[in-house]
Chain A
Amino acid sequence: MNQKNPAIGKGVDWVMIWLYAILVMVGLLCIFSVEYRTTDGVVESFLGFKKNYSKQLFYFIACIVLATFILLTDSKLFTATANISYLVGIALVLATFVVGKEIKGSKSWIPLGFMNLQPVELCKIFTSLALAKYLSMPDMDFRKPQSQIIAAAISFAPAALSILQGETGLALVYFSFLIPMYREGLPPGYLITGAAMAVLLIASLLFSTTVLLIAFAVLGAVFIYFNRRQIKRSNQLLIGVISIWGFCSVFVGVVVPFTFKNVFKPYQADRIFSMVGVDNPFADKNSTGIFNQDDQKAKQKKSDKQNYNVKQSKIAIGSGGILGKGFLKGTQTQGDFVPEQHTDFIFTSVGENFGFWGSTLLMLLYMGLIFRIISIAERQRSTFSRVYAYCVASIIFFHVAVNICVTIGLAPVIGITLPLLSYGGSSLLTFTILLFILIKLDADRQMVLR
């Protein structure tokens, strides 16, 4: 196809295209292995558009067409339309509040008839472009807090909207934009502060306020004791410590409870708490008993279900052993034991059918893809391309890492897909566009200077 067309193929990074094609093929095989039963006819099922693997095949064909179009496009278009497309993306996300369809508890889908589109998913592309555009502005000085705030706003606006729609998993993906920002000169202090804040937030959710307040006081006192000489020399350190201590205490004691009680709706608070695996301590105890009971039950059910998912996922992967059970021979896969196996838990079929070597090989493929993108990023002459490449690498990395950590039980259940492997038109489309824009930008790196 596009290999034979010199006009499109010129300057294209074939390694990327191969990696992309291999991963999508692996994905198709995995979805096939999840759904296929010996009674099915292979050819009819593949062409029938009834089974998920058949649908995925058609999505793939659609993606190839789209990819060809992207490669035929002038790469200037992406820079030119970055801001507009971002706005369109945001508009789409907002549109879901009106015309959204609820699927699996989150109202973040727009039904298109032949498929359901998740704008937040697509918004990753637009945000990447917009961020790249913003950071590549000629008079950009990213050390200025103002720039940093705008960059953060661009990155996290879709995430915030997404959380409001109940789609926390995808919202988390937007944190991956911190990595390109870091590459572009965001002081590491931010990352450290961010990480510390995250720890603080999670801690405030996990432990009771009193315990944390005491812990902060003790930590502060110990720090002051060990650094008492330096503190004698300069008061600044002492002030710093005390202000951090004060901030933490206020955050834990006032901000968090206030936010959860008054800002978030109860179900949102519940979701956030269930993500870290505890009950919502701020749940309204005054609501009517029956409602509360039902609520408790539902919550219990959800948590049971998540435990079940992870357990089944671990069983499937663990039972694969070193060599795996062989393609289409996985008993767990064939027995439908793993829920959502064709989407978020697609990795389990790799783990079961192909075992440790297969899983490791897949990991190496992803690692190869990411490192290839980074190496492409570093050879770009334009900041736009570089930032964009970093965005793509970070998004893919975040998806892969979180998804696989979920399936092997290293992370709480967060519903995000495994790039290029998981069943789903939105996901495949998004990653195809992300990658092929990058490939196009890379192909034009010699010609266009921005």
Chain B
Amino acid sequence: MLVFAGMFVIIILQLANLQIFSSKYKIMADDQGRFRKVIYPDRGIVYDRKHKAILQNMTIYDLMVVPNKVRGVDTFALCRILDIDTATFSKKIVELIIKNGRGRPSIFDALLSDEKMAMLNEAMYKFVPGFYLQERPVRSYPFDAAGNILGYLSEVDTNFLKSHKDEGYQIGDYAGKTGMERTYEKVLMGQRGIEYWKRDNKNRLTEKLENGKYDTTAIAGDNMHLSLDIALQEFGEMLMQNKVGAVVAIDPQTGGVLAMISSPTFKPKYLTGADRRKHYAELLLNPALPLLNRTVNAKYSPGSTFKTLQGLVGLHEAVITPTTTFSCSGAFYGCGKPMRCLDPGVWSLRGAITHSCNTYFANVMQRVINNPKYPSVDSSLNQWAKFMNAFGLGHRLGIDVPTERSGSIPTSITYNKIYGAGHWNFCTFRSVSIGQGEVEVTILQVANEMAYLANKGWFITPHMVDSIEGGDKFSMLANFKEKHRPLDINDSIFESVHDGMQGVMDGGTGRYAQVPGVVVCGKTGTVENAYNGVKQKDHAFFAAFAPRDNPKIAIAVICENAGFGSTSAAPIASLMIEKYLKDSISGKERNAKVLQISNLNLIPPRIYKELRKMDSLRHAKDSTYLISKGYIKIVKDTIGLDADDEADALDKIKKEKESKKALPPKDSNDNKRLEKVEAILPDEKKKPEPKDTVKN
């Protein structure tokens, strides 16, 4: 009896041990007996302001294989279609068996191109049941434009998974990498559905666990409406082709971005579908940096476009009135060494803006900085910087396009760092008064500045997304509804600024930006720039808004190294304004202008030189060398990619190269190239070297 009872007690104790006290069996059981199937909802569709879909979903196909059913398939025909030899075929099958097992479907060839798909579809009967085609939804771009804005999807990596721990991403998932896809990932992604399936001992899914009691349904992503005008964007990209630069157009009344062109750019299709890795590597290594969004991620000296704001600060600080005049005899002599000025004369604010008088604005800023209201130059400069910050400069505006940079507005800290406390005064940084030196802006900030001027004293944070269908669940749009009124400035003051800007168009430097039948207010700028002491051709700058009464568009254009602004940046702005306001370009002459501008090639010769050099060397060699020199990292930092998405693509290149045992080229050419590459990086640290001469 005791033996019997004892045995039963032992059994019950072990049962308790297994079933109550150890949890590992439950985990093991769930691991092998349950399968958590993620159901991906359709991503949201993105529309432009005229309700054209500009980013939507498309289905392409993967060729799937079930290795244990391959026997009897016409392998030869398949290899011919896929353009591989039979040895590669067998090798691949073996690899898949090792990776995934015989009985389970694996991807034999992912994201089939259209031609392969067409050929396969026709011949598919020869390959069943071992092979079949499986749909895979991808993003498609109905318009071949706005690649830099819309962004693309890519597979999540470990860093992404780490930073989005609780959002249900898994390895193999796709997430927005840049542009709208990235910023509005949460909105577009929708809500994943999860189905729990039972799985049997051969790893087959048998049926839903408890009839789907624990399942959650997938909810499609929300559609979004952008303020972007895709027609304007396409038009702008056409105008900007063969130029290095950027255009931002904003609707001043809403802050919505109408067009955002960064040139050179890339076809959005490049980074989706079958060949994206190849394309990505190409784009990444292109010396013209097509992946860099120059509208928000590049910093430029604002040049003369900055002068309007200087005037406003002067008026607000009451160091000048709209009627205050300064005379210019050809240069600004306030600091000993003269600062040249091209239009001698006696100017009030209006005339000074029209003629872009350096002397006038140097005097204004000198008065602001040396204002007796403030105890020291430090405090007056910081006050000045505060005003500039309020105008949206020197900090990120908060646009919903990723990788925005802040630009810079110098403060006392900046100069204390460079010259030491007490070792500087207005004359040290007088070039700032005309938008050179330590002041740096993004094109977006300049466009926003124009919107501010157009609205006579307020602006709304520029943004892409106007509305989200189904409501702003993540309150991502709240910041884009609020009007910012930095300074309380009388409308009449704005009127005189507008007068000045209109004057630019009528008789001043901006004649080329006139739009027939529209009153445009604009400001040209031609910004000197030098790289490593080597003077480069000037950047052409133009900023404007139109029409003057009831402004509908504010625009900023930069053409890098394009020289005189009137021939490139100004006409581009003009054409874009016309296109937006009138929906088309009218007149023979204007259409000829479109053709002329779009055919105009302003790519700096150094970029061609680099391209040639890259071509002349073996591509593989090059990229390896660039990797070894940390170039890729620099490029990535610049472009603002936060993860090593394509590292494997580059690794592959590297490996190829290693197998060839080619030594990296060590001649001086390469060093030069690297320097030059650095030179076009916009956040290059400049030495405080006053550049005094500004044309216009």
A interface residues (Cβ-Cβ under 8 A, vs B):
37-38, 179, 314-322, 329, 331-332, 334-337, 351-352, 355-356, 359-360, 363, 366-367, 370-371, 374, 393, 397, 401, 404-405, 408-410
A319/B210 in contact, CB under 8 A? no
Q: Is B474 an interface residue (CB 8 A)?
A: no
Bound Cα distance from A337 to B198, whole angstroms: 12
What residues of A have a CB within 8 angstroms of the CB of B15 in the complex?
317, 351, 356, 359-360, 363, 408
Chain B nearest CB: distance from A39 CB in Å? 8
B20/A356 in contact, CB under 8 A? yes
B11/A320 in contact, CB under 8 A? no
What residues of A have a CB within 8 angstroms of the CB of B30 in the complex?
319, 331
B10/A331 in contact, CB under 8 A? no
Q: Is B209 an interface residue (CB 8 A)?
A: yes
Interface of A is mostly: helix
Q: Is B1 an interface residue (CB 8 A)?
A: yes
B19/A322 in contact, CB under 8 A? yes
Of B5, B24, B25, B201, which one neighbours A335 at CB under 8 angstroms?
Answer: B201
Q: Check A351/B29 contact, CB under 8 A, given A397-B4, A397-B7.
A: no
A332/B16 in contact, CB under 8 A? no
18 examples of A-B residue contacts, CB within 8 angstroms: A37-B207, A38-B207, A314-B25, A315-B32, A318-B19, A318-B22, A319-B30, A329-B210, A331-B29, A332-B29, A334-B200, A336-B201, A337-B33, A359-B12, A363-B8, A363-B15, A397-B4, A408-B15
What residues of B have a CB within 8 angstroms of the CB of A321 in the complex?
19-20, 26
18 further interface pairs, Cβ-Cβ under 8 Å (given A331-B198, A397-B4, A410-B10): A314-B25, A318-B19, A318-B24, A318-B25, A322-B19, A331-B29, A334-B33, A334-B198, A335-B33, A335-B206, A352-B29, A356-B19, A371-B4, A401-B7, A404-B11, A408-B11, A408-B18, A409-B18
What residues of B have a CB within 8 angstroms of the CB of A355 in the complex?
19
Q: Which of B1, B12, B18, B210 has the most CB of A within 10 A?
A: B18
- The closest CB in chain A to the CB of B199 belongs to A335
What residues of A have a CB within 8 angstroms of the CB of B206 in the complex?
37, 334-335
What residues of A have a CB within 8 angstroms of the CB of B11 in the complex?
363, 401, 404-405, 408, 410
Of A317, A322, A335, which one neighbours B32 at CB under 8 angstroms?
Answer: A335
Q: Is B676 an interface residue (CB 8 A)?
A: no
B32/A337 in contact, CB under 8 A? yes
Bound Cα distance from A371 to B4, whole angstroms: 9
Q: Check A363/B33 contact, CB under 8 A, given A322-B20, A355-B19, A356-B20.
A: no
Of A179, A331, A374, which one neighbours B33 at CB under 8 angstroms?
Answer: A331
Q: Is B28 an interface residue (CB 8 A)?
A: yes
What residues of B have a CB within 8 angstroms of the CB of A410 in the complex?
10-11, 14
Give 1 or 0 for each of B233-246: 1 = CB within 8 Å of chain A CB. 00000000000000
Q: Is B34 an interface residue (CB 8 A)?
A: yes
A318/B29 in contact, CB under 8 A? yes
A317/B4 in contact, CB under 8 A? no
What residues of B have a CB within 8 angstroms of the CB of A317 in the complex?
15, 18-19, 25
Chain A nearest CB: distance from B6 CB in Å? 10
Chain B nearest CB: distance from A119 CB in Å? 28
What residues of A have a CB within 8 angstroms of the CB of B16 in the complex?
356
Bound Cα distance from A356 to B5, whole angstroms: 18
Chain A nearest CB: distance from B10 CB in Å? 7
What residues of B have a CB within 8 angstroms of the CB of A334 in the complex?
33, 198, 200, 206
What residues of B have a CB within 8 angstroms of the CB of A404 in the complex?
11
- The closest CB in chain A to the CB of B196 belongs to A331
Chain B nearest CB: distance from A373 CB in Å? 10
- The closest CB in chain B to the CB of A351 belongs to B19
Bound Cα distance from A321 to B18, whole angstroms: 8
Contacts of B194-250 to chain A: CB distance below 8 A: 198-201, 206-207, 209-210
What residues of B have a CB within 8 angstroms of the CB of A408 in the complex?
11, 14-15, 18
Contacts of B1-55 to chain A: CB distance below 8 A: 1, 3-5, 7-8, 10-12, 14-16, 18-20, 22, 24-26, 28-30, 32-34
What residues of B have a CB within 8 angstroms of the CB of A352 in the complex?
29
Bound Cα distance from A314 to B25, whole angstroms: 7
- The closest CB in chain A to the CB of B211 belongs to A38
Q: Check A367/B33 contact, CB under 8 A, given A319-B26, A335-B199.
A: no
Chain A nearest CB: distance from B7 CB in Å? 5
A331/B34 in contact, CB under 8 A? yes
